[in-house]
């Protein structure tokens, strides 16, 4: 090829390059946000809005009360409304909060929350306008006697809010909260992966929330079973063992601390002045110099020294686990089983992010005998309904040997039996396999923790099942005795030449005593059983 042609081609190719906005990217890749089919899309819209409402109310320490409406409007079209009693959004902030992707406050905080990405709410609006061409209505007040009314769309090319209409009315009404109404393409079902199932699971993991659902076919009310909220998780500083060199370099440049020593103690968790000096010593850096003065070589020395020093684990008040009691109660409320148990593991760390695993199990009773066990997956109190097969929770379950704990299982598959397994991962940063946040990425340390929790509840389950089996065996033995006892008594009576009745009575009381002991033994193993 002639060189002049190459120059032309290269220049031509350059002309076609341009910036792709985040909105354009996710509009085209809408399956990444959970909008790949109409059934899932409707669920995703409700989920994103409810998650935001729960986060907002909890952060403002208000007991959540959330209204959800899904009304059909033609074939495969629905009007969705979600309203909360949260603190509301200020008039000025509404357009950016909901009309721009990648905008929010939770991304930068090391603290457990449902949303983090600043994509959820705006993603729902993006999906609404993509499928119906219509704006979304947002009504909000922060309790100052004024109400904001917005009709909002997203300017996809710019990833900026497009305000179709806006009013701020001083109506004197004193209320606080956000009400969002949008029209979307979707399909409504009531089966496994559905809006009612999602809300039911939300109620299990958030028993302090009141949720009223007005669906196309029915009205559901999930009332509070607890009137107190869990403590608000605290924001923490990054742990030195979890950061990366590139992030450290950026922190060094932008810190307000004047010396390396104060930078280390102020901008990280778990570094006191002694440790800061030890790190500087290891790195051969003067602790009194300015962080901005560190070049790339020094930064790397500092980074390596930070990895070498022994440190206690990150603080864990940034987490808000459900707790064993709440898990057991949640399972009892929803499933009629004969045995319940739960385990909350101590916090662990992956890439510097604290996380905590909890597992609950319900077994027997009215749970279906046939088919695989029911799996309930949660992250930061949010139920996950899709991509079960791709999730670290499922991978941990299928690689656990359940035959050991009394359930049937063939190879590496979901165990079979009358059981529900509930797993909750609480973390300041959950690594999801995609932006739709329906499955946890398979980090080995996370899978390991889940398996440890599963094994703990597994052992309790095994004790229950084997106790039950022992009792059944004892029952059968007793029945046999009962059947033959009169004959035995007669035989003894003949041999000893005594009356058979006293002998029979004596034999019967002996048998009764021995089986009672077994029943008591079983009773002791079922701590936490209220079924």
Interactions with its own copies, residue window 480-519 (CB under 8 A): none
Which span (105-113, 189-197, 336-344, 510-518) binds its own copies, by CB under 8 A? 105-113
Q: What's the distance, CA 65 to chain centroid?
A: 20
Considering only 190, 244, 325, 516, the residue that binds its own copies (CB under 8 A) is: 244
Kindly state whether residue 181 participates in binding its own copies, applying the rule CB under 8 A. Answer: no
Binding to its own copies by residue 249, rule CB under 8 A? yes
Q: Does residue 44 interact with its own copies by CB under 8 A? A: no
Q: Which residues are registered as beta bridge partners of 142?
A: 176
In this chain, which of 296, 312, 495, 530 binds its own copies, going by CB under 8 A?
296
Between the alpha carbon of residue 85 and those of residues 12, 82, 238, 250, the distances in Å are 55, 11, 32, 39
443 touches its own copies by CB under 8 A: yes
Which is nearest to 82 in space by CA: 8, 187, 179?
Answer: 179
Which residues inside 302-321 make contact with its own copies, applying CB under 8 A?
Answer: 303
Options 13-21, 165-173, 331-339, 366-374: segment touching its own copies (CB under 8 A): 13-21
Q: Does residue number 61 form part of the binding site for its own copies (CB under 8 A)?
A: yes
- 525, 341 in Cβ contact below 8 A? no
Is residue 24 close enough to count as binding its own copies by CB under 8 A?
yes
Q: Is 108 near its own copies (CB under 8 A)? A: yes
Q: Is there binding between residue 14 and its own copies (CB under 8 A)? A: yes
Q: Please, which residue, 85 or 269, has the CB nearer to its own copies? A: 85
Identified binder of its own copies from the candidate list 65, 67, 107, 181, rule CB under 8 A: 107
Residue with tokens 């629905």: 78
Dist CA 182 CA 72 (whole Å):
12
Is 97 a binding residue for its own copies by CB under 8 A? The answer is yes
Applying the rule CB under 8 A, the residues between 122 and 151 that interact with its own copies are 129-134, 142-144
Work out the angle at residue 61's Cα, subtended by the Cα atoms of residues 56 and 65, and round it to the nearest 5 degrees.
65
CA distance linking residue 113 with residue 105, whole number of Å = 11
Residues of this chain, 397-416, that bind its own copies according to CB under 8 A: none
Helices (H), ranges, 190-244: 195-205
Number of residues that bind its own copies (CB under 8 A): 82
Which one of residues 167, 216, 225, 246 is an interface residue with its own copies (CB under 8 A)?
246
Q: Segment contacting its own copies (CB under 8 A): 103-111, 201-209, 226-234, 488-496? A: 103-111
Phi, psi of 349 (to 5 degrees): -135, 135
367 versus 447: smaller Cβ distance to its own copies: 447
Query: How far is CA 232 from each of CA 111, 113, 204, 506, rounded to the nearest angstrom?
Result: 9, 10, 19, 63
* Residue 16 binding its own copies, by CB under 8 A: yes
User: 22 or 507, CB closer to its own copies?
Assistant: 22
Which of 62, 168, 237, 471 binds its own copies (CB under 8 A)? It is: 62
For strands 339-344 and 374-379, give the pairing: unpaired
Long-range contacts of 102-106 (CB under 8 A, 24+ apart): 102/22, 102/159, 106/55
22 interacts with its own copies by CB under 8 A? yes
Contact 439, 395 (CB under 8 A): no
Task: Record the tokens describing residue 146, joined without a space.
Answer: 């004024």
Q: Does 229 bind its own copies (CB under 8 A)?
A: no
């Amino acid at each position: 090829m002639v060189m002049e042609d190459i120059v032309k081609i290269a220049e031509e190719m350059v002309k076609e390059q341009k910036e792709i906005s985040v909105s354009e990217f996710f509009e085209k890749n809408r399956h990444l946000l959970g909008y790949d089919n109409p059934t899932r899309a409707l669920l995703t819209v409700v989920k994103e809005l409810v998650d935001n409402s729960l986060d907002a109310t909890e952060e403002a320490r208000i007991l959540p009360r959330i209204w959800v409406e899904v009304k059909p409007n033609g074939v495969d079209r629905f009007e969705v409304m979600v309203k909360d009693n949260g603190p509301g959004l200020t008039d000025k902030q509404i357009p950016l909060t909901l009309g721009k992707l990648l905008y929010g406050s939770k991304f930068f905080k090391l603290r457990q929350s449902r949303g983090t990405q600043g994509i959820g709410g705006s993603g729902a609006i993006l999906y609404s306008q993509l499928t119906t061409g219509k704006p979304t209505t947002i009504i909000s007040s922060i309790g100052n006697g004024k109400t904001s009314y917005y009709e909002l769309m997203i300017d996809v090319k710019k990833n900026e809010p497009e305000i179709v209409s806006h009013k701020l009315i001083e109506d004197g009404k004193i209320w606080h909260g956000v009400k969002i109404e949008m029209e979307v393409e979707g399909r409504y079902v009531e089966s496994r992966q559905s809006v009612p199932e999602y809300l039911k699971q939300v109620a299990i993991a958030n028993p302090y929330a009141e949720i009223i659902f007005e669906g196309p076919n029915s009205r559901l009310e999930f009332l509070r079973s607890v009137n107190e909220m869990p403590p608000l998780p605290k924001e923490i500083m990054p742990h030195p063992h979890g950061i990366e060199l590139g992030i450290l370099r950026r922190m060094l440049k932008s810190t307000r601390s004047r010396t390396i020593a104060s930078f280390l103690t102020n901008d990280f968790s778990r570094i006191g002045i002694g440790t800061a000096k030890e790190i500087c010593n290891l790195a051969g850096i003067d602790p009194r110099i300015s962080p901005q003065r560190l070049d790339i070589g020094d930064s790397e020395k500092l980074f390596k020294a930070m990895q070498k020093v022994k440190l206690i684990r990150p603080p864990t008040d940034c987490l808000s686990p459900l707790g064993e009691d709440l898990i057991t109660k949640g399972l009892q409320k929803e499933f009629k089983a004969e045995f319940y148990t739960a385990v909350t593991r101590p916090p662990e760390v992956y890439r510097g992010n604290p996380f905590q695993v909890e597992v609950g199990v319900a077994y027997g009773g009215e749970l279906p005998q046939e088919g695989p066990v029911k799996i309930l997956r949660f992250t930061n109190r949010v139920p996950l309904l899709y991509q079960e097969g791709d999730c670290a929770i499922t991978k941990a379950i299928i690689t656990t040997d359940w035959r050991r704990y009394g359930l049937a299982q063939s190879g590496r598959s979901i165990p079979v039996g009358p059981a529900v397994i509930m797993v909750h991962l609480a973390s300041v940063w959950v690594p999801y396999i995609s932006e739709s946040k329906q499955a946890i990425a398979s980090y080995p340390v996370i899978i390991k923790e889940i398996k440890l929790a599963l094994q703990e509840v597994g052992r309790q389950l095994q004790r229950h099942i084997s106790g039950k089996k022992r009792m059944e065996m004892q029952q059968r033995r007793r029945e046999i005795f009962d059947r033959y006892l009169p004959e035995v008594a007669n035989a003894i009576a003949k041999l000893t030449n005594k009356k058979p009745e006293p002998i029979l009575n004596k034999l019967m009381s002996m048998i009764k005593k021995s089986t009672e002991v077994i029943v008591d033994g079983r009773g002791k193993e079922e701590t936490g059983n209220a079924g």
